[in-house]
Structure 1
Amino acid sequence: MRNVSEIIEQYLKNILHLSDEGIVDIQRNDLADQFDCVPSQINYVISTRFTLEKGYVVESKRGGGGYIRIQKIELNAHGSVLDLIFKTISTEIDQGTSEGLLYQLEESGYVTSREAALMKAAISRDVLLLKLPIRDEIRAKILKAMLISLLNK
């Protein structure tokens, strides 16, 4: 059985998918009431599952009438994908950010689930048994090389 976080995540992704603009405004307390959970559970889902690395921009307005706006960033041009790669990876990248980037590229159809799984395995901290920051620098070089090679096919 799926946990509440997964259910909330799927719900938000579904309403984003149904939105013409790829934007959804939510009331945190209303959503918490709907899923019979505490508002901090909504914060947790949004902050961990709707990150920039995963292809989302989140903004919030506090106070009366406040809202949380979630926007899906669409990667629709080869150049924008390469821009995302170079902007996200830079000279070093941690494991969480690299997995988020791979998730976004897989969701957008730029890499297959098999390609993403292979890359995740190759850049895992369990494989790159090096001390920081060298591990993140090596991970960045490997990931960038693999993605450029795949996307230029």
Structure 2
Amino acid sequence: MRNISDLIEHYLKQILQNSSEGAVEIQRSDLAEKFSCVPSQINYVISTRFTLEKGYYVESKRGGGGYIRIQRVDLPSLEAVQRHIHQTVGEQIDQTAAEGLIYQLEEAEFLTEREARLIRAAVSREVLALKLPLRDEIRAKVLKAVLIALLAR
């Protein structure tokens, strides 16, 4: 059984996928009512699962006529993805940002689910049991090398 956050995320991704514009505008209170939860649960899902690192742009307007607009940011071409990797990773990257990039590449189908799991394992803080900032530097080098090699297929 999936939890309420998973259900809300799945619902939002489904309506995003069906949107011709690649964007959706929702009212927090309407969505909360649909899932019988508090509006803060909607905020939690959006702030943790629809981040820029994961390939989403979120715009929020509070108040009476307020809304939340979620837009998918697609990665267009292999060259653009490689540039994106170099810009995102840089000389060092923390685990959260690395996982966000891996998630984004998996969602855009540049990586398979298996490849994403393997990369996440290889760059995890448990495997790279080093002190900061060395851990983030090694993670960046491993992540770039693996992603560029996989995407050059």
Which TM-score applies when normalising by structure 1?
0.95
Aligned to 2:19: 19
Counterpart-to-counterpart distance in 1, 2:82 and 2:113: 19
Aligned to 1:47: 47
Counterpart-to-counterpart distance in 2, 1:71 and 1:80: 19
Shift of 1:76: 2.2
Counterpart-to-counterpart distance in 1, 2:91 and 2:39: 37
Shift of 1:30: 1.2
Which consecutive unaligned segments of at least 5 residues does structure 1 have? none
After the TM superposition, which of the residue ranges 78-87 and 136-145 deviates more from structure 2? 78-87
After the TM superposition, which of the residue ranges 112-121 and 5-14 deviates more from structure 2? 112-121
Shift of 1:23: 0.3
Shift of 1:87: 2.1
Counterpart-to-counterpart distance in 2, 1:105 and 1:134: 25
Shift of 1:21: 0.8
Task: Give runs of aligned pairs for residues 29-68 of structure 1, distance below 5 A.
Answer: 29-68=29-68
Shift of 1:73: 1.1
Q: Deviations over 1:42-84 (max 9, x none)?
A: 0000011101111111111122211110001111211221122
Q: How many residues align?
A: 153
Q: How large is the Cα RMSD of the aligned pairs? A: 1.0
User: For 2:70, what is the secondary structure of its paired residue?
Assistant: strand
Which consecutive unaligned segments of at least 5 residues does structure 2 have? none
Which residue identity does 1:150 align to in structure 2? Answer: L
Counterpart-to-counterpart distance in 1, 2:86 and 2:128: 21
Give me the identity figure in percent. 65
Which residue identity does 2:76 align to in structure 1? Answer: N
Counterpart-to-counterpart distance in 2, 1:115 and 1:35: 33
Q: Deviations over 1:24-44 (max 9, x none)?
A: 001111111111111110000
Which TM-score applies when normalising by structure 2?
0.95
Which residue identity does 2:41 align to in structure 1? Answer: Q
